[in-house]
Amino acid sequence: MNLSDPSPSLLLRLSISAVVVVILALGLIGLVVNRAYLAAERVALDERLENTVFAVLAGLEVSDDGGLDWAGAPAESLLTQAQSGLYAGVYGGVDEWLSPSTLGLSIPLDQPAVARGEAMRQAADAQSPWHVYRLGLGWELPDGRIVDLVVWAAEAPERLQQSVRGFRANLWRWLALAAVVLLAAQVLLLFQPLHVLRRIAAEIREIEAGKREQLGGGYPRELTPLTENLNALLATERSNVEQYSQALGDLAHSLKTPLAVLNARAESGEPIPADEMLESVRQMQLRIRDELERAARTARRTLLPPLALRPHAEKMLRSLGKLYGEVDFTLACDPALQANIAERDLIEILGNLLENAAKYGDGKVRLALSVPPRSGRRSGVIIEVADNGPGLASGQFEKLLQRGVRGDQRAEGQGLGLAIVQRIVDSYHGQIRAERSEWGGLKLLVELRPG
């Protein structure tokens, strides 16, 4: 599969899915409603036939010799209209009676015996195309004799079929109209979220063209994590480019002088001893390696997994405790504390801050780690390092954040520790500030936002 091939439109795919869902849903609804209506019509048919039987009984007359007669019904009754589709009759004893509606029609019905008080229902089939209801009863004659009679009512299946066909036509017509309305509404509703996605795509194209630096705001809450993470990725990319650009600039500056010296001596024809040449090359290699390592340390990754803080803090304190045995290190950190930062960045910051506190303090160093209030699903960290040393004069801390500036010229070091910390903090869009500790010394607070 060629990944460059355009995929089908999201609107088209969603519309096809909506069509399939609506058709299946309304089709199932139609089938269920049709079955329910058919069952209701069959119940109504049974009730009509049963009512017809009782209407026949209401007008039935039996003579002394068992002859059957019927007092009749209103003229609008289907039983009095020839071939109306509703038929009735009575059999048993010595006579048989058929309703006027059977005039000119032969109804070859079986005449099974039905016990007194029992009812028998028969649905239309290939042998008997009628829906029939039979009721068995005993009719007492004036002389005390009881004649067993069966009163029946029948209806042609066309009436039920016509009713069902009419209902189905209306049902599917209205369901089709409902499907059209639902699909039209679905397509209109899809345009709103797709419009938001098109807006994101348009802003990304503007970012690619250099017309903007990040995605705008005002997106729905469900898309906010997406836009925030994209902005974080963009910010990280810009930060890393700046870090590497700065590292390359520092590298070029540091190599400028030794390369100029070698070039001048080579142009003057002055012979350069091999050991001197090798030493110059070795120094330049060390500078290149240091700058690249420093750039790698301060480069930031985004969407970092949560990192357990206490184990790394304890490990760092154990290591420094061996170097500074006279210093009392204490730790305040929840064992379950986690933050979305890189392990190397945490170690670099803790190592620089704690070593400076141990070096310039007076025997007491306290490390406290906490998590600031979350603005999303990810968390940063607040690092506090306090000592009981002499502290810093006003304005001195800002100078120490510059490369090569040291707080105490008597102590070993190159003055890069706090500068590296500052670059790491900047890569997390955090902040670092100095306060007076509870012991009267220096307390540094570093806040890193989640990576």
The per-residue pLDDT for range 392-408, each reduced to its tens digit, is 766 666 666 554 444 44
Q: What is the pLDDT of residue 386?
A: 92
Q: What is the pLDDT of residue 258?
A: 75
Q: What is the pLDDT of residue 299?
A: 60
The percent of residues in the chain predicted with pLDDT above 90, rounded, is 20
Does 412 score more than 60 pLDDT? Answer: no
| Strand, helix or coil for residue 150 | strand
**Terminal-residue alpha carbon distance, the chain:** 35
Q: What is the pLDDT of residue 407?
A: 46
* Domain assignment of residue 326, yes or no: yes
Kindly state the tokens that stand for 190.
Answer: 């899809």
* Domain assignment of residue 177, yes or no: no
Q: What is the pLDDT of residue 397?
A: 66
For 96-140, write each residue's pLDDT tens digit: 888 888 887 777 777 888 888 899 988 887 777 888 999 999 888
> Do 227 and 367 fall within a single domain?
no
> Do 230 and 145 fall within a single domain?
no
* Domain assignment of residue 325, yes or no: yes
Q: How far apart are CA 25 and CA 21, in angstroms?
A: 6
Q: Which of 67, 62, 72, 69 is nearest to 139 (CA)?
A: 62
* Segments forming the whole domain that contains residue 86: 13-162
> Do 286 and 420 fall within a single domain?
no
Boundary-marking domain end, from 274, 298, 322: 298
> Do 289 and 317 fall within a single domain?
no
Number of domains in the chain: 3
Q: How far apart are CA 198 and CA 111, in angstroms?
A: 77
Q: What is the pLDDT of residue 350?
A: 92
> Do 379 and 418 fall within a single domain?
yes
Q: What is the pLDDT of residue 109?
A: 76
Average pLDDT over residues 174-198: 86
> Do 151 and 29 fall within a single domain?
yes
Task: pLDDT band for 47, please (50, 70, 90 cuts).
Answer: very high
Average pLDDT over residues 66-73: 76
For 224-277, write each residue's pLDDT tens digit: 878 877 887 787 777 777 777 777 777 777 777 777 777 777 777 777 777 777
Instruction: Decide if 308 contacts 337 (C-beta within 8 A).
Output: yes
> Do 373 and 268 fall within a single domain?
no
* DSSP per-residue codes, 95-149: EEEE-GGGTT-----------TT-EEEE---SS--SEEEEEEEEEE-TTS-EEEE
Tokens 């049902």 map to which residue?
171
Following CA atoms 358, 361, 364, 369 in sequence, which dihedral angle do they give, to the nearest 10 degrees? -60
> Do 245 and 331 fall within a single domain?
no
* Domain assignment of residue 167, yes or no: no
> Do 326 and 395 fall within a single domain?
yes
Does 321 score more than 70 pLDDT? Answer: yes
Q: Which of 304, 377, 383 is nearest to 340 (CA)?
A: 304
Contacts of 135 (CB under 8 A, 6+ apart): 50, 53, 57, 114, 118, 119, 120, 150, 151, 152
Q: What is the pLDDT of residue 330?
A: 93
> Do 158 and 253 fall within a single domain?
no
Average pLDDT over residues 159-188: 90
Please state the separation of Cα 405 from the chain's center in Å: 52
DSSP assigned state of 79 = G
Tokens 């829906």 map to which residue?
131
Does 43 score more than 80 pLDDT? Answer: yes
Q: What is the pLDDT of residue 177?
A: 93
> pTM of the full predicted structure?
0.49
Maximum Cα–Cα distance across the chain: 158
> Do 394 and 265 fall within a single domain?
no
DSSP assigned state of 333 = -
For 216-225, write each residue's pLDDT tens digit: 878 888 788 7
Does 314 score more than 90 pLDDT? Answer: yes
Does 302 score more than 80 pLDDT? Answer: no
Tokens 């189905």 map to which residue?
168
Q: How far apart are CA 375 and CA 310, in angstroms?
A: 23
Average pLDDT over residues 352-374: 89
The percent of residues in the chain predicted with pLDDT above 70, rounded, is 88
> Do 398 and 415 fall within a single domain?
yes
Contacts of 168 (CB under 8 A, 6+ apart): 34
DSSP assigned state of 376 = S
DSSP assigned state of 388 = -
Boundary-marking domain end, from 298, 323, 340: 298
Task: pLDDT band for 11, please (50, 70, 90 cuts).
Answer: confident
